[in-house]
Amino acid sequence: PTPTAAAFRAGFVAILGRPNVGKSTLLNRVLREKIAIVSPRPQTTRTRILGVWNGPGAQLAFFDTPGLHRAEGPLNRRMVEVGLSTLSEVDVALLLVEAGTGPEGRVEVGEATRWIIEEVKRSGKPAVLGISKIDRAPKEAILPVIAAYRELHAWTEVVPFSALRDENVDDLLRTLARLVPEAEQPLFPPDVLTDQAERQLAAEYVREQVMLQTRQEIPYAAAVAVEAFDETEREKGRHGLVRVAATIYVERESQKGIVIGKRGALLKEIGTAARTGLERLLGCKVFLELHVKVDERWSEREDALRKHGL
Ligand code: GDP
Ligand code: MG
pTM of the model: 0.91
Q: Is 135 annotated as a binding residue?
A: yes
| Span 137-188, pLDDT tens digits | 988 889 999 999 999 999 999 999 999 999 999 999 999 999 999 999 999 9
Q: Is 251 helix (H, G, I), strand (E, B) or coil?
A: coil
Atom 12 in ligand 1: residue holding the nearest Cα:
22
Q: Is the CB of residue 25 below 6 angstroms from any atom belonging to ligand 1?
A: yes
Model confidence band, residue 309 (pLDDT cutoffs 50, 70, 90): confident
Q: What is the ipTM of this complex?
A: 0.99
pLDDT tens track for 119-148: 899 999 999 999 999 999 988 889 999 999
Q: Which residue has the higher pLDDT, 48 or 51?
A: 51
- Name the superfamily (CATH) of residues 9-179: P-loop containing nucleotide triphosphate hydrolases (3.40.50.300)
Ligand nearest to the CA of 45: 2
Q: If you measure from the C-alpha of residue 1 to the centroid of ligand 1, how many angstroms do you get, rounded to a whole number?
A: 47
What is the 23 CA–ligand 2 centroid distance (Å)? 5
- pLDDT of 104 > 60? The answer is no
Q: Which residues pair with 96 in a beta bridge?
A: 130
CATH number for the 198-307 domain, one of 3.30.300.20, 3.40.50.300, 2.102.10.10, 3.30.70.360? 3.30.300.20
Residue 88 annotated as binding site:
no
Ligand 2 centre and the CA of 71: distance in Å?
16
List b or e across 147-166, with b for residues whose CB sees 16 or more CB atoms inside 10 angstroms: eebeeeeebbbbbbbbbeee
Q: Which ligand is nearest to the CA of 39?
A: 1
CA 47–ligand 2 middle distance (angstroms): 9
205-257 pLDDT tens trace: 999 999 999 998 999 999 999 999 999 999 888 889 999 999 999 999 999 99
Q: What pLDDT score was predicted for residue 282? A: 94
Domain map (residue ranges) of the chain: 9-179, 198-307
Atom of ligand 1 nearest to the CA of 64: 4
- Alpha-carbon radius of gyration of the chain: 21
| pLDDT value of residue 139 | 86
**278 pocket-lining for ligand 1 (C-beta < 6 Å):** no
Q: Which uninterrupted H or E stretch holds 288?
A: strand 285-294
Percent of the chain with pLDDT over 90: 73
Alpha carbon distance 221, 266 (integer Å):
16
